[in-house]
């Protein structure tokens, strides 16, 4: 009886240890996945992660789901903030803007740091008119921000370009059109929303 008790006890202990081991491994893998898909500064999706989401949404459109729009956002005169007040101030501005952008979209939308001071919002089931409304709301929310650097409150604005995926167009091509619209807005005076020309 003692022998069977020892065998059973050992088996239970090994089972518990194996369960703990697998739990820790699963947690570590989840943490690594999060690190691989998240921008460390803003905690938004990174470029690689948002492209995976774009591919899924692009497939839905190809299967007949309505519309997929992109809003590309670039902060105005951001280099001047870094140059005059330092990169820590720039980082604080990026974090503040990220929170504002994320708060301004739906749960089904995606917001990612596209690179530097650029952000991309992916809006499923949203046509150009709807995307323009979202973009202007995001523009106004950023304009209303007053991130504090030391004793000074900064004024931040952004320029946004919009494109809706067209028939026969890839997501990359639509984003390139949004980028062209964004730079048209920069040339036109900044702090504005510009809808991309049709492909």
Which residue, 144, 175, 145, is CA-closest to 160?
175
68 with 121: CB under 8 angstroms?
no
CA nearest neighbour of 126 among 170, 86, 69: 69
> Closest Cα partner for 71 from 15, 131, 130?
131
Active site residue 118: no
Q: Are 105 and 133 in contact, with CB atoms under 8 Å apart? A: no
Catalytic residue among 117, 143, 152, 184: 117
Q: How far apart are CA 55 and CA 116, in angstroms?
A: 23
Question: How many angstroms separate the CA atoms of 166 and 39, rounded?
Answer: 29
User: Which are the catalytic amino acids?
Assistant: 117
């Amino acid at each position: 009886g003692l022998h069977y008790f020892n065998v059973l006890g050992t088996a239970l202990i090994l089972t518990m240890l194996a369960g703990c081991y697998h739990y820790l491994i699963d947690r570590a893998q989840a943490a690594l996945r999060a690190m691989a898909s998240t921008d460390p500064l803003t905690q938004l999706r990174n470029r690689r992660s948002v492209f995976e989401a774009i591919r899924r949404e692009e497939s839905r459109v190809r299967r007949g789901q309505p519309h997929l729009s992109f809003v590309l956002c670039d902060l105005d005169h951001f280099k001047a903030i870094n140059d005059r007040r330092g990169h820590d101030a720039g980082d604080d501005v990026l974090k503040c803007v990220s929170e504002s952008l994320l708060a301004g979209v739906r749960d089904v939308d995606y917001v990612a740091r596209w690179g530097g001071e650029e952000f991309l919002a992916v809006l499923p089931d949203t046509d150009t008119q709807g995307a323009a409304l979202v973009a202007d709301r995001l523009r106004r929310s950023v304009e209303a921000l007053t991130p504090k650097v030391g004793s000074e409150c900064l004024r931040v604005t952004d320029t946004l370009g919009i494109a809706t995926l067209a028939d026969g167009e890839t997501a990359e091509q639509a984003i390139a059109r949004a980028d062209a619209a964004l730079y048209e807005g920069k040339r036109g005076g900044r702090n504005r929303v510009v809808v991309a020309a049709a492909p």
